Amino acid sequence: MERLQAVYYRAPDGREPVREFVAGLTPKRRAIIINQLARLNLLTPAGPHLQFPYSSQVEGELRELRCHYGSELYRVLYRRSRNLFVLLHAFRKDRSPLQRADIELAQRRWSDFLERMETKRRQPPRPAGHDAP
């Protein structure tokens, strides 16, 4: 059975902001987020989204993965692209509603992801030397 897969958004400079955020957490907090990410990886293309309380819709197709460590709240904003869940932004949530800046950052990263994924692949270099036509 085919499954969906969560992947980290990679910025043009090669950084993976969500991976870096998660790696900077204490081991117990990191485990909470990694366990929630594992829930995403259990989904199939034909199945529904991960339901509340694990995930909820933020805006349009942007969703939040909801992670709790005691009274601390963490969020991972993500979107689906075919069989991938692209993890766009992660943060500790200190206020009740999501901040507009967090949503806009995730949307900018999504736009960047789409733009780079839709660009034409470059032609590989032609053979040189004795292999040249």
**Position 127 confidence tier, pLDDT thresholds 50, 70, 90:** low
Listed by start position, the domains of the chain span: 5-118
Percent of the chain past pLDDT 70, that is, above it, reads 89
In this prediction, residues 76-98 reach a mean pLDDT of 90
Q: Write out the chain in H/E/C secondary structure.
A: CCCCEEEECCCCCCCCHHHHHHHCCCHHHHHHHHHHHHHHHCCCCCCCCCCCCCEEEEECCEEEEEEEECCEEEEEEEEEECCEEEEEEEEEECCCCCCHHHHHHHHHHHHHHHHHHHCCCCCCCCCCHHHCC
Average pLDDT value for residue range 56-69: 93
Lowest-confidence range among 46-50, 110-114, 115-119, 122-126? 122-126
Please indicate whether residue 10 or residue 132 has the higher confidence score (pLDDT): 10
- Stretch 13-38: mean pLDDT: 94
pLDDT, position 4: 84
Model confidence band, residue 40 (pLDDT cutoffs 50, 70, 90): confident
Looking at residue 45, what is its pLDDT?
Answer: 82
Nearest partner of 103 among 58, 67, 70, judged by Cα: 58
Q: What average pLDDT does this structure show over 81-86?
A: 87
51-58 long-range Cβ contacts below 8 angstroms, 24+ apart = 58/98, 58/103, 58/106
Predicted local distance difference test score (pLDDT) of residue 48: 77
Confidence of residue 15 (pLDDT cuts 50, 70, 90): very high
